[in-house]
A and B are shown apart, each in its own frame.
Chain A
């Protein structure tokens, strides 16, 4: 069995480490986005090779192990205390943007007759924290690969379109620097995309855009828990669910510890721990990318994610 595991372990680990170093090449690059895209591209290129079956089988079998481990480590690197300094108006705009993104994505998902779980994942991915939210929620709702593939493709495409439009459409690009920082943090689905969109803003990126995005990221375990219980109530209890419940609760506890305990926060700031956490979560993201099967591709989730962002952007502009 070790021989069967080796290709998957080696490929995902090497790609996870490589993603970390690639992301260090430029401040706008995010290791998780690089890892996810890397996994998707490798599957797209080599997915039809007969020998590649073993790697995909590994990715499927270890999804429910790697992602929860990555989640726990990822939670330890998030320090929401930075968001405590944000003004109340920023909280309100962020909250409204999240609600609009989530509600519109769910509504459009229903309108376009998306599979229920694809719709859920596209909604959480768009409104909360892109691929991280999809990774965690997909495990919580026991989603199929088709749901994961389509929602991931949708948030990647919609995210890239959102950044492109934000930087070029006059209504948005002419927002003041502070408003644009809040807009990016409140509406864009991936932290990496927020970094790209706000790369010209200097300290405002670190002090405003990323803390706003962090505020959304902190919602992940709570939303995942809600979907977890909805899934249990509709489909009954499945194996591994207790393990997942522990992971989600641990996520919340870690968020609280990093925010409220300076001693614990100092431990998580140790460079080695941060690097290890990023590499392990990036490895889980490579794994997730390898699950993206373009044969099951549907166009509707992209429309849903993109229109949800357009609506949230319009709502934000009305508030600005």
Chain B
């Protein structure tokens, strides 16, 4: 089911004050324009791993409570 990547992006956006800067940093970390990720973007295990790592780095958290 698609939408897992979008959930990670939304989580980062919702959990930071400077939303646009956080997403811009995420883009640099995952080498992909995360603003283009939609609900219909197909799931991808490799990408998901990179997205989660980037989210942890940006939010400075060891664990993320994303309902994937």
The interface of chain B, by Cβ under 8 A from chain A, is 17-21, 23-25, 27
Contact = CB atoms under 8 A, between A and B. Distances in A.
A6 to B, nearest CB: 11
A56 B23 CA distance: 11
Interface stretch (A57-65, A133-141, A193-201, A278-286): A57-65
A320 interface: no
Contacts of A54: 21, 24-25
Contacts of B18: 1, 4-5, 57, 61
A53 interface: yes
Given A1-B18, A4-B18, A4-B24, 13 more contacts: A1-B21, A5-B21, A54-B24, A54-B25, A56-B24, A57-B21, A57-B23, A57-B24, A58-B20, A58-B21, A61-B17, A61-B19, A61-B21
B20 A61 contact: yes
Interface residues of A, number: 10
Interface string A69-104: 000000000000000000000000000000000000
Contact of A60 (B20, B25, B27): B20
A318 B10 CA distance: 56
Contacts of A53: 24, 27
23 contacts: A1-B18, A1-B21, A4-B18, A4-B24, A4-B25, A5-B18, A5-B21, A53-B24, A53-B27, A54-B21, A54-B24, A54-B25, A56-B20, A57-B18, A57-B20, A57-B23, A57-B24, A58-B21, A60-B20, A61-B18, A61-B19, A61-B20, A61-B21
Contacts of A60: 20
A70 to B, nearest CB: 19
B36 to A, nearest CB: 13
A1 B17 CA distance: 11
Contacts of B17: 61
Contacts of B25: 4, 54
Contacts of B21: 1, 4-5, 54, 57-58, 61
B32 to A, nearest CB: 12
Contacts of B23: 57
Contacts of A57: 18, 20-21, 23-24
A4 B20 CA distance: 11
A1 B58 CA distance: 8
The 5 A-B residue pairs with the shortest CB-CB distance, nearest first, are A57-B20, A57-B24, A60-B20, A61-B18, A57-B21
Nearest to B58: A1
Nearest to A4: B21
Contacts of A1: 18, 21
A1 B16 CA distance: 11
A61 B23 CA distance: 11
Nearest to B60: A1
B51 to A, nearest CB: 17
B19 to A, nearest CB: 7
Point out which of A53, A56, A58 has the most chain B C-beta atoms below 10 A from its C-beta.
A53
A291 B5 CA distance: 27
Nearest to B19: A61
A56 B21 CA distance: 9
A53 B24 CA distance: 6
Interface string A125-153: 00000000000000000000000000000
Nearest to A58: B21
A145 B25 CA distance: 20
A60 B22 CA distance: 12
Contacts of A5: 18, 21
A152 B52 CA distance: 39
